[in-house]
Amino acid sequence: MAAAARSLAGGGLVAFPTETVYGLGADASNPQAIARLYRAKGRPAFNPLIATVGDLAAAQRIARFDATALALAEAFWPGPLTLVLPKTTDCAVADLATAGLDTVAIRLPSHPVARDILRAFGRPVVAPSANLSGHVSPTTAAHVEHDLSGRIDLIVDGGPVAVGVESTIVGCFEAPMLLRPGGLPRGEIERVLGRALAQPPDDADCESGQPLAPGMLASHYAPRTRVRLNAVRVEPGEALLAFGPVALPGVEAATAVMNLSARGDLQDAAANLFGYLRTLDTKGAHTIAVMPVPGDGLGEAINDRLRRAAMARE
Ligand code: TXA
Ligand code: MG
């Protein structure tokens, strides 16, 4: 933790586990470090970063919380929820990290390693997922090493993560809006709000104009192999990403088979999703066929990531 904090203070790039996926950290107030971070990921600088903090007081120094934002923070922090809020006038997060927006995305992770690093460093850390831009997010230190070895300064290995999909992002606008489904199911948030989350307008989901969640580009989270959704049989030469106990016709001829959760558990499926996509991507299959996954609870985020993986090659 001390080495990680020293590296961050010196402008270094440090990968560390959060409960959702591994993040690539840089000092949120250091534009040089942030410029290096965008380069290391190959990420376009118009796509803003999440600022990670150690406690609510630190979050309130960089953003203004209304009653709704406070209620969500109190209910779900630390945990897999990111809030997009108006910046304070003396917000310490560099403009480069927020892509010039007057809002900032903030997260308070619950992973003990992330918390220890944030505590040791003592200031906000910007931390996008620690993968090459456009690739699936890393859920182990080995995934980080595969994507970013030689491009960053340190990887803190905390073992495989628990949640496996990125945080849920809620924009605290006039009506709280679900900008990205993620590790905290929509239903839990709506229960605290006492109302449904607003949906972003359709054109927020593309590269045109001023997207509300600029990172929600269609081609996010993509393996290199083509992905085919809602498979009801396996075609020759395909790898299969299965879900549940039922075997698909044609499965004997599959190049490789991995089951997200043989007992049909969505939490297990989320935790396995990105690692299995990475593994199936190396099997020489022409297509990864994916069985249907229910859309309730964590299934909303799982289906969102699968759709993006499929869209990228269409
Ligand atoms: O679980 C997570 O959130 C992980 C861990 C490492 O914390 N991080 C993560 O970061 O997924 P990243 O950079 O891969 O995704 C952040 C998303 C992007 O889609 C970005 O466009 C959006 O947050 N975002 C950041 N600032 C924003 C803002 N001010 N308004 C709207 N969207 C914003
Ligand atoms: Mg990412």
Q: What is the pLDDT of residues 81-119, one digit of tens each?
A: 999 999 999 999 999 999 989 999 999 999 999 999 999
What's residue 216's pLDDT?
53
Q: Is 50 in the pocket of ligand 1 (CB under 6 A)?
A: yes
**Ligand with the closest atom to the CA of 136:** 2
| Tokens read off for 313 | 């090659």
What is the per-residue pLDDT for 207? 39
Burial 202-218 (b: 16+ CB within 10 A, else e): eebeeeeeebbbbbbbe
Q: Is the dihedral of CA 187, 159, 263, 137 positive or negative?
A: positive
Angle ∠(229,233,234) on CA atoms, nearest 5: 85
Instruction: Return the percentage of the chain with pLDDT > 90, whole number.
Output: 89
Whether residue 12 has its Cβ less than 6 Å from ligand 1: no
Instruction: Write out residues in the chain with pLDDT < 50, as ranges.
Output: 205-211, 217-218, 314
3-state secondary structure 105-134: EEECCCCHHHHHHHHHHCCCEECCECCCCC
Residue type, 126: V
CA of 104 relative to ligand 1 center, distance in Å: 10
Nearest residue by C-alpha to atom 13 in ligand 1: 128
Q: 234 C-alpha to center of ligand 2: Å?
A: 30
Query: Which tokens belong to 312?
Result: 């990228």
Q: Please state, in angstroms and rounded to a whole number, the distance separating the CA atoms of residues 307 and 312.
A: 9
Q: What is the pLDDT of residue 200?
A: 86
Closest ligand to the CA of 50: 1
| Atom of ligand 1 lying closest to residue 167 CA | 1
Are the CB atoms for 266 and 297 separated by under 8 Å?
Answer: yes
Residues with CB under 5 A from ligand 2 (ion): 129
| CA 69 to ligand 1 center in whole angstroms | 17
Ligand approaching nearest to the C-alpha of 99: 1
Q: Is 114 in the pocket of ligand 1 (CB under 6 A)?
A: no
- Residue 238's SS3 state is strand
Contacts of 211 (CB under 8 A, 6+ apart): 203, 204, 205
Q: How far is the CA of 262 from the centre of ligand 1 (A)?
A: 31
Q: Work out the number of other CB atoms within 10 angstroms of the CB of residue 39.
A: 12
Question: For residue 221, which ligand has an atom nearest its CA?
Answer: 2
- Is residue 167 lining ligand 1, measured as CB closer than 6 Å? yes
Share the mean pLDDT of the chain: 93
Measured from the CA of 169, which atom of ligand 1 is nearest? Answer: 23
Residue 138 CA to ligand 2 centre (angstroms): 9
145, 165, 198 from 268: Cα distances, Å: 24, 11, 28
For residue 306, give the 3-state DSSP assignment: helix
Residue 107 near ligand 1, beta carbon < 6 Å: yes
Alpha-carbon distance of 158 to 148, in angstroms, equals 17
Classify residue 226 as exposed, middle or buried by CB count within 10 Å of its CB (0-12, 13-18, 19+).
middle
**266-280 and 299-311 helices cross at what angle (nearest 10)?**
20
Angle, helix 186-193 to helix 67-76, in steps of 10 degrees: 130
The answer to whether the beta carbons of residues 50 and 127 sit under 8 Å apart is yes
CA within 13 Å, CB half, 201:
7
Q: Which atom of ligand 1 is nearest to the CA of 49?
A: 25
Tell me if 14 CB under 6 Å of ligand 1: no
